[in-house]
Amino acid sequence: MLTYWARHARLPDGIADAVAIDVADGRITAVTPGAPPRGEILGGLVLPGFANTHSHAFHRALRGRTHDRRGTFWQGTFWDWRNGMYALADRLDPDSYHRLARAVYAEMALAGITCVGEFHYLHHRPGGRPYANPNAMGEALIQAAADAGVRITLLDALYLSSGFGKPLEPAQERFGDNGLEGWLDRVERLEPRPHARIGGAVHSVRAVPDDAITAFACSTEGRPVHVHLSEQRAENDACRAAHGCTPTELLERCGLLGSDLTAVHATHLTEHDVRLLARSGTTAAFCPTTERDLADGIGPARALADAGVRLTLGTDSNAVVDMFEEARAVEMHERLASGERGRFTADALLDMAGGHDTLGWNDAGRIAPGARADLVALSLDTPRTAGARPDGIVYAATAADITDVVADGRHIVHEGRHRYIDAGAELREAIGDLWQ
């Protein structure tokens, strides 16, 4: 048994002082507030490990390259930005994707993320021809997470069309499968592992015909399922033109809404859409740093929460990997949209970073006996956090203030450094090779 001692720790009923956390076999066995220092001292404030509920790991290679005409690509809208993303995707193979993803997941570990939901649609060779192992790209991601010491839920995405009634474009052919049956056959060959779960995803209503969504909904029971929903107004307009309804209404018709579903972005919703998500028990995943980077818009976070929809957080394109910034941005975007402060409590914002169960890890996300031993230690004396109260740390801290991270009882970040991967060096090399 190993004991961690925290000066402060965020427990299920609030922040406690002088907390001893006993760990054995990757699980928390006891939590004792008011304990004298013993074992390994984490100091500062200890939080449960974060769940990143929506990631596209390969998008990390676009960071700093899409913002002006001097960059590799200049992008004016989301739809323009996609062209740069397609060009990047075309350069990846299983080996290069593994190298990139292990560094990306190490960057996430440094930011306190102990579990990632990888929304995976980069399946085949350019042109759509499968690799000898048709899941080579997905397996590369699963191995990358193991290398970085984090858990992964591979949300393998169904992607069949380029738009309503339109075939895949050449740049999208490696995303597609030979219909739903081809997707099911491929995904059934993926095996869960101690650090990996296998989920499913409908890329979007524009990328999967409605009859396939209906059949998909009947084929994925018991798995976590995610979908991009109403990220762009243009998609909403196209859905209305094709089906006479919003994307949310279409998902309800197809039977996909429900407690196993997470709707990613949920940016441009009608009041009726909000009610449908709430009534069905669907979760929403907000990715504020990406949503503003791509000029998507500001989602109705407060309206969704008031209706009873649970909110979680993702880093999506990994333009920023910082769960404090994602959480803080939900509140700050609400302030900009409403003209009011205090739209969410600090506790509510931190709770959004704990969406482990939406990724199939129901035994994580809390510092309590029986839970997975996922701990994030945060310094309270950096130039950013000094003087902040522990219960208001979400408004002060950044990922740079994290000193130590424990995932499943394994100490993967110590004194601000990943113990197994030099994330900066590996990112620089992997991304440089892709763009050379």
Residue 420 phi, psi (nearest 5):
-125, -20
Of 376, 409, 407, the residue nearest 393 (C-alpha): 376
Residue ranges and CATH numbers for the domains of the chain are 2-48+365-423 (2.30.40.10), 50-359 (3.20.20.140)
Instruction: Give the DSSP letter of residue 166.
Output: B
* 134-170 confidence digits (pLDDT tens): 999 999 999 999 999 999 999 999 999 999 999 999 9
At 73, the pLDDT band (50, 70, 90 cuts) reads: low
Can you give the pTM of this predicted structure?
A: 0.97
Catalytic one of 273, 316, 401, 404: 316
Mean pLDDT, the chain, rounded, equals 96
Would you call 316 a catalytic residue per the annotation? yes
Report pLDDT for 67: 77
Query: What pLDDT digit, counting tens, does each position of 322-344 carry?
Result: 999 999 999 999 999 999 999 99
Q: Is the pLDDT of residue 75 over 90?
A: no
**19 vs 35: CA distance, rounded Å:** 6
Q: Is 374 a catalytic residue?
A: no
pLDDT bin (cut points 50, 70, 90) of residue 221 is: confident
What confidence score (pLDDT) does residue 65 get? Answer: 85
Strand-pair partners of 226: 201, 262
* Mean pLDDT value across residues 356-362: 98
Token pair in block for residue 393:
């740390």
Among 265, 268, 356, 418, the active-site one is 265
Identity of the residue numbered 228: H
Torsions phi, psi of 40, nearest 5? -90, 125
Q: What tokens were used for 335?
A: 């302030």
Closest-CA residue to 256 (of 286, 219, 301) = 219
Nearest in space to 56 (alpha carbons), one of 293, 276, 240, 248: 293
- The string of pLDDT tens digits covering residues 202-219 is 999 999 999 999 999 999
